Amino acid sequence: MNGRWRDQSTAGSENSDELRTAQSSVETAESAHRQTLSSETGLRVVQQILAHESSVLSVEELSYRNTETGSRTIDDHLRELAEADIVERRSAVNCPNDLPNTYWAVTPRGVALLDDLGFYDEVEVLATADDALARTDRIERIESFAGRPTAETGP
């Protein structure tokens, strides 16, 4: 074999190794994202966000729905989910100081992962439960706030 072809053959092998490494990295990242979503709290939070009529919820609203889980724990889960591109942060417009300024929405990627894992169908049942949820005056005020972001308003 002449030297020129050997060099190209070696370069092809190096490119194949790089491609395999890149594919492995993507698979590892995808697995980690699925694992983030498969935690009970992470899964519940994502489903509850989608189940709400606005498809965005604040940490305070999520804490109200998850009384057994502290707001700090919910916030930590949301940050992990955001790093995995499963949820994204949304900001309120002209928010009074006594209302939450940050809300969370599920990304299209988050919806796809939820569906891939077989948990998207449960959102409809949770939406029915969310509609029936008794709300405090404070939660009603947060939900009726006109500057609240929507799922369509973007980050």
Residue with tokens 């894992």: 117
Q: State the SS3 of the chain.
A: CCHHHHHHHHHHHHHHHHHHHHHHHHHHHHHHHHHHHHCHHHHHHHHHHHHCCCCEECHHHHHHHCCCCCHHHHHHHHHHHHHCCCEEEEECCCCCCCCCCEEEEECHHHHHHHHHCCCCCHHHHHHHHHHHCCCCHHHHHHHHCCCCCCCCCCC
pLDDT recorded at residue 151: 84
pLDDT recorded at residue 34: 59
What confidence category does residue 21 fall into, taking pLDDT thresholds of 50, 70 and 90? low
Q: Out of 10-19, 108-117, 140-149, which region has the weakest mean confidence (pLDDT)?
A: 10-19
* Angle at the Cα of 84 from the Cα atoms of 77 and 67, rounded to 5 degrees: 15
pLDDT recorded at residue 104: 98
pLDDT recorded at residue 3: 46
Q: pTM for this one?
A: 0.77
What confidence category does residue 2 fall into, taking pLDDT thresholds of 50, 70 and 90? very low
Q: What confidence tens digit (pLDDT) does each residue in 55-90 have?
A: 999 999 999 999 999 999 999 999 999 999 999 999
Q: Which residue has the higher pLDDT, 67 or 17?
A: 67
